[in-house]
Amino acid sequence: MTRREWIALSAGAALTRPAFSAPTAPVSVARCRTYGPELLPVMEKMFDQLGGLGRLVAGKTVAMKVNLTGSPKDRLGHLSAESAQWTHPHVIANTIHLLNKAGARRVRILESSWNTAEPLEETMYEGNWDPALLLNAGGIVEMENTNYLGRGKRYHKFTPPNGGYMFKEYWLNHSYEACDVFVSIAKLKEHVTAGVTLSMKNLFGITPCTIYGDGAPEKEPGLVPKGGRGSVIHSGKRPPSTAVPGENPGTPRDAGARVPRVVADLVAARPIHLAIVDGIETMAGGEGPWCRGTIGIKPGLIIAGLNPVSTDAVGTALMGYDPMADRGVAPFQSADSTLKLAEDHGVGTRDLKRIEVIGLPIAEGRIEFRKYRGPVVGRG
């Protein structure tokens, strides 16, 4: 059996066993300076290095969580959202094209649109995107705003291991259950509350604000999402709608402890089979333009892996940080490490000594994010 065949077989097997039984997987890193014609062959080579997409997606329904954080009106100076805080549409479109080429039956693009029950396409229009670029990228492509019930008839329950850090159960839009393969496409960014936001932190946005939002009704889930998740998840000042299980006893009140725990719970309960991190153009200093002291940067990197903890560990190292760091050490000065919490849940390893990095070595791709920004103040 060749090395490629072994990796491909391992990737297929990961779909039939819990993600936490696979403590590590190879991570591919590539240099890519633009979102132009060079991007597609770079991404195709990366997926080939991971064993190919065919064994993972052929004949399957693929759900793809993208990152369109905040309002479509948020801008970092004169930069477009996709040059700073949003996943770039060309990364999404090329992924769809390659998934279709590998035999995926259907691809569903998912995101929780900020403070609205509008179709996801409307959020894209408001952000100056043309959804047709994605809908016509290859095969059957659908979209859903997962910040409320959407097209589903009920919410689906997801249970993290060992009773969860924060909640023993999370209620999510049906789209996160109605798929065979789950892909997270994130941006390479720091995060004011959680330290870094990569493929795992991208899942924070799958919690519907009709249940876990500031304006969620006290009892039954709301019909329309209202507000963010600050009072329920960040601070714990109020519970989610009482139709769902409340917090576990003794949970912390500190956002730097709460947010990483929720993310680790979610990635353990809703496993990521393919993690992609867009670091071609991004921002340093925080997760969005609302964080003061942020600046646009161009690392010229793209990362992909079959285990989200290992992928994010490599991404963290490429940002100039030690993925083995914990609270009190940058980038986790005031937060617990999501990497460690997910590792403790059994999702994967953050130890670079146990992770095979294919392609561009970390030492050659590393960019010190800390050098590119001033004092940061965020909304958390």
Amino acid occupying residue 70: G
Is this prediction's pTM over 0.85? yes
What Cα–Cα distance (Å) separates residue 371 from each residue in 140, 252, 283, 319, 320?
Answer: 43, 32, 12, 10, 10
Average pLDDT over residues 342-368: 96
Does residue 116 have a pLDDT over 90?
A: yes
**Residue 372, pLDDT score:** 85
Query: Residue 136 gets which letter from DSSP?
Result: T
Cα Rg for the chain, rounded, in angstroms? 19
Omega within 30 of 0 (cis) for the link into 331 = yes
Instruction: Write out pLDDT tens, residues 230-239.
Output: 999 999 999 9
Structure tokens at 372: 């590119």
Instruction: Write out pLDDT tens, residues 238-287.
Output: 999 999 999 999 999 999 999 999 999 999 999 999 999 999 999 999 99
